[in-house]
Structure formats: structure tokens, C-alpha cells
């Protein structure tokens, strides 16, 4: 498709220091000059989208801007042999939805290297139930497994458990046979976390500050989606040789710790980036998530919204009130 097409997008404008998102009609002529044009049927909601929509300049430098760090759809024009015309693809991360118009619009134009073929077992809708958050949970679990974590070594804890990354991490770890302790600030989500397979649910006060540099080592491993003081406290509670996969920052970016968990217990702090890793590494995790790691309960509990629901849903992320997975369906 080379002709101009008009499409609908949810775009954020900066007005007197305030950031306001609304649906508007845009033209494919105004998309960046990249080699693959994709008709997007679905996107997924992520914490980073909420930051972009709120005007966070660390995520999006200039406005107006169409957020959406995830997109799934069909290639409608390609200057590259890969992907090909008509191919179903997934795009997550890189600059999508940051400073490149993202999946909250019905079209995106991106470099071919950002595209991953849609796993054959998935529709675009299913892929966007997982999205970047599911990919990140998969990467965290993959890193823990590569460090040799085994179910018989003990409990694995997930922080921010009711969130988009947390819910997939809880279900996936439980499915793989781990005893999962979910840490969640939302009493209302405790039932849902149990359904996903958490064997125990504890409040966020579980990770209140302890003066001691080390406390009883309770956990064999952890997926930490919150960072800040919670991560510092988590490190004090990891068994000798255990690992923490660290991916998030909702509780803060600064982590005040001592070296003691590392030098006295050999604890491993594993960084997880889902954004800039090569597409082949993303594809390896998508293959697992769409195959042996498929999370049926997360899929069943995901909620669909249309563009008109974006404003409220994104605000809930920033308030720490969002839960589970939310899919943007452009046909709604
Ligand atoms: P969500 O908002 O869906 O989930 C975060 C959860 O953290 C909340 O639901 C809440 O869960 C808990 N939480 C919120 N505020 C606080 C707080 N102040 N202190 C402690 N816990 C809190 O976000 P996502 O799951 O989409 O993302 C989680 C984090 O991971 C974000 O920081 C995001 O930027 C990051 N991320 C990083 C990626 C990477 O590549 N490294 C990729 C994707 C996400 P509860 O109420 O259950 O405690």
C-alpha cells in the first residue's frame, strides 16, 4: 500500500504544561519514513505508556505524540524482504511509542528490524494480552532458570504481583512448579492472584525497611517489578546463591543497599531489559510464551478496551491501581 490512508489514533497534546490525550484522524503520510507500514489491530497497555501520556520527558521528548509501546497487526507495505506484505507481525519496545508514533494508532511505520513474526499459535489479540509486560515476565523467569533456580530450592517471590508484569510472572512460575509468594498492595486482587497460582499473598509492608543489612533468607529467587526500597529489602531476604530478576521502577529508581547480600550470600542481581534486546532474543521468549509457557489464566482474565477507554486506564497505572492485562482493540 503506497497511497495515503487516513486512520484513527489516540494522540497526546501538550497544552499549557498539561498533557491531554484524545482520538483524532491522522494520515499515513505523517508517519516516519521507515521501511515497514503495519495496520495495527491491537496494542497492549503498559506503565511506560502511562508515563508517555503524562508527559514524562524521559520517555517522550516532544508532543503531539501517539503512545503505545506494543503493536500487533499486518504488514501493508514493506521496502524490505523481511517481513513481507501481508505477514502478521509483532512490534514491542525499541523506540515504538516513545518518540516513534506507537500502537495507540491504527497504523505504524517502523524499521524492519523491529518486527517479529507473529507466533503461529497466536492471534494479534492474544499476542497483545502478553505484550511487553508478558515478554518482560518471560525474560525475568528465563534469567532465573538460567541461573539454575529449581522448584525444590524454595519459595520465589513476585513484587507488584497484581500488575501487568507481575500477573504473568506469578502464573508462569506457578505453572513451572514453583511455590510463589505474591506481594501485592491490593487486597481486592488477592483472590485473582490465588487463581493464577500464588500459594501465599502478602502485603507490601512485607518489605518495610529493616535496619539490619541481612534478615532471615526466605526466598530462593525473586521477580521484582517495583525497584526502590522494596528491591533493597528483597535482597536482604534472598537465600545464599539465589537471584533477583529486576525489571521495574514503580517504587523508585534509587536502591540503597549494602554489599552484604552479594559478598556474604552470593546473591545475584539480574537486570532485565525487554526494549533494546535483539529481535531474535524477543522471538525466543515469544516462542516459549506461545508454547510451553502459555498462561491460560492470564489470557482468560485480560480485559479489552477501545481508544475511548485509554485515558482512565492509563491514569490507573500511575495511581498504582491498575491490575492484570489490558488490551487495546482498535475495532471497538
Ligand atoms: P503495573 O502498574 O501494571 O504494575 C506495577 C504494580 O506495582 C502495581 O500494580 C502495584 O501492584 C505495584 N505498585 C505500584 N506502586 C507501587 C509502589 N509505590 N510501591 C510498591 N509497589 C507498587 O506496571 P507493569 O507491570 O506494566 O510494569 C511494572 C514495572 O516494570 C514498571 O516500572 C515498568 O516501567 C517496568 N517494566 C520494565 C520493562 C523492562 O524492559 N525492564 C518492561 C515492562 C515494564 P500491587 O498493588 O499488586 O502491589
Q: Is 193 in the pocket of ligand 1 (CB under 6 A)?
A: no
pLDDT of residue 102: 98
Which residues of the chain are in CATH 3.90.180.10 domains?
Answer: 6-118+302-329
Half-sphere exposure of 151 (CA within 13 A, CB side): 9
The yes-or-no verdict on residue 1 having pLDDT over 70 is no
Strand order in the sheet with 238-246: 200-202, 180-183, 155-158, 219-224, 238-246, 268-271
Residue among 47, 167, 302, 319 whose CB has most ligand 1 atoms within 8 A, to mutate: 47
Name the residue at shortest CA distance from atom 38 of ligand 1. 247
Q: How far is the CA of 247 from the centre of ligand 1 (A)?
A: 9
pLDDT of residue 61: 97
Q: How far is the CA of 123 from the centre of ligand 1 (A)?
A: 26
Which residues of the chain are in CATH 3.40.50.720 domains?
Answer: 132-271
User: Tens digit of pLDDT for each residue in 14-63?
Assistant: 999 999 999 999 999 999 999 999 999 999 999 999 999 999 999 999 99
pLDDT band at 254 (very low <50, low <70, confident <90, very high): very high
Name the residue at shortest CA distance from atom 5 of ligand 1. 163
How far is the C-alpha of 253 from the C-alpha of 248, rounded, in Å? 8
Q: Which CATH code, of 3.40.50.300, 3.90.1170.50, 3.90.180.10, 3.20.20.140, is assigned to 6-118+302-329?
A: 3.90.180.10
Q: Is 321 in the pocket of ligand 1 (CB under 6 A)?
A: no
User: Tens digit of pLDDT for each residue in 281-329?
Assistant: 999 999 999 999 999 999 999 999 999 999 999 999 999 999 989 999 9
Sole residue written with cell 489491530: 41
Sole residue written with cell 502459555: 294
How far is the C-alpha of 128 from the C-alpha of 86, rounded, in Å? 19
pLDDT band at 233 (very low <50, low <70, confident <90, very high): very high
303 φψ region: left (φ > 0), alpha (ψ -120 to 50), beta (else): beta
How far is the C-alpha of 124 from the C-alpha of 167, rounded, in Å? 20
Q: How far is the CA of 165 from the centre of ligand 1 (A)?
A: 7
Atom of ligand 1 nearest to the CA of 167: 25
Name the residue at shortest CA distance from atom 48 of ligand 1. 184
Q: How far is the CA of 170 from the centre of ligand 1 (A)?
A: 13
Q: What is the mean pLDDT of the chain?
A: 97
pLDDT of residue 3: 82
Cell (9 digits) for 69: 509501546
pLDDT of residue 324: 87
Residue among 194, 226, 251, 281 whose CB has most ligand 1 atoms within 8 A, to mutate: 226
Sole residue written with cell 495496520: 39
User: Tens digit of pLDDT for each residue in 212-223?
Assistant: 999 999 999 999
Percent of the chain with pLDDT over 70: 99
Q: Is-contact 257 247, C-beta < 8 A?
A: no
Residue among 45, 185, 274 whose CB has most ligand 1 atoms within 8 A, to mutate: 185
Cell (9 digits) for 330: 482498535
Mean pLDDT of 60-87: 96
Residue among 69, 183, 250 whose CB has most ligand 1 atoms within 8 A, to mutate: 250
Helix axes 279-289, 124-146, angle to 10 degrees: 100
195 phi/psi in degrees, rounded to 5? -60, -35
Q: Is 44 in the pocket of ligand 1 (CB under 6 A)?
A: no
Q: Which CATH code, of 2.30.30.230, 3.40.630.30, 3.40.50.720, 3.90.1150.10, is assigned to 132-271?
A: 3.40.50.720
134 phi/psi in degrees, rounded to 5? -65, -40
Amino acid at each position: 500500500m503506497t497511497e495515503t490512508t487516513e486512520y484513527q489514533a489516540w494522540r497526546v497534546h501538550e497544552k499549557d504544561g498539561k498533557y491531554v490525550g484524545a482520538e483524532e484522524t491522522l494520515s499515513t503520510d505523517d508517519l516516519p519514513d521507515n521501511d515497514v507500514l503495519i495496520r495495527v489491530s491491537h496494542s497492549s497497555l503498559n506503565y511506560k505508556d502511562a508515563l508517555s501520556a503524562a508527559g514524562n520527558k524521559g520517555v517522550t521528548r516532544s508532543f503531539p505524540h501517539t503512545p503505545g509501546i506494543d503493536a500487533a497487526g499486518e504488514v501493508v507495505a514493506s521496502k524490505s524482504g523481511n517481513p513481507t506484505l501481508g505477514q502478521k507481525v509483532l512490534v514491542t519496545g525499541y523506540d515504538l511509542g516513545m518518540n516513534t508514533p506507537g500502537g495507540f494508532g491504527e497504523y505504524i511505520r517502523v524499521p524492519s528490524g523491529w518486527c517479529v513474526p507473529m507466533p503461529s499459535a497466536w492471534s494479534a489479540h492474544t499476542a497483545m494480552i502478553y505484550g511487553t509486560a508478558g515478554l518482560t515476565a518471560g525474560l525475568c523467569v528465563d534469567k532465573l532458570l538460567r541461573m539454575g533456580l529449581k522448584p525444590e530450592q524454595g519459595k520465589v517471590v513476585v513484587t507488584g504481583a497484581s500488575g501487568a508484569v507481575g500477573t504473568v510472572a506469578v502464573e508462569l512460575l506457578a505453572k513451572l512448579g514453583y511455590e510463589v509468594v505474591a506481594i501485592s498492595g491490593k487486597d481486592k486482587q488477592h483472590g485473582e492472584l490465588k487463581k493464577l497460582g500464588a500459594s501465599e499473598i502478602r502485603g507490601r509492608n512485607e518489605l518495610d525497611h529493616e535496619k539490619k543489612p541481612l534478615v532471615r533468607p526466605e526466598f530462593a529467587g525473586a521477580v521484582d517489578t517495583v525497584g526502590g526500597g522494596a528491591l533493597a529489602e528483597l535482597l536482604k531476604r534472598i537465600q545464599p546463591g539465589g537471584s533477583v530478576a529486576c525489571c521495574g521502577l514503580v517504587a523508585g529508581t534509587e536502591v540503597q543497599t549494602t554489599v552484604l547480600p552479594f559478598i556474604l550470600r552470593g546473591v545475584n542481581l539480574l537486570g532485565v531489559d525487554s526494549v533494546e534486546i535483539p529481535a531474535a532474543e524477543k522471538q525466543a521468549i515469544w516462542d516459549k510464551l506461545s508454547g510451553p509457557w502459555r498462561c491460560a489464566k492470564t489470557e482468560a482474565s485480560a480485559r479489552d478496551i477501545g481508544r475511548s477507554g485509554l485515558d482512565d486506564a492509563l491514569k490507573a497505572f500511575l495511581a498504582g491501581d491498575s491490575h492484570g492485562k489490558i488490551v487495546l482493540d482498535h475495532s471497538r
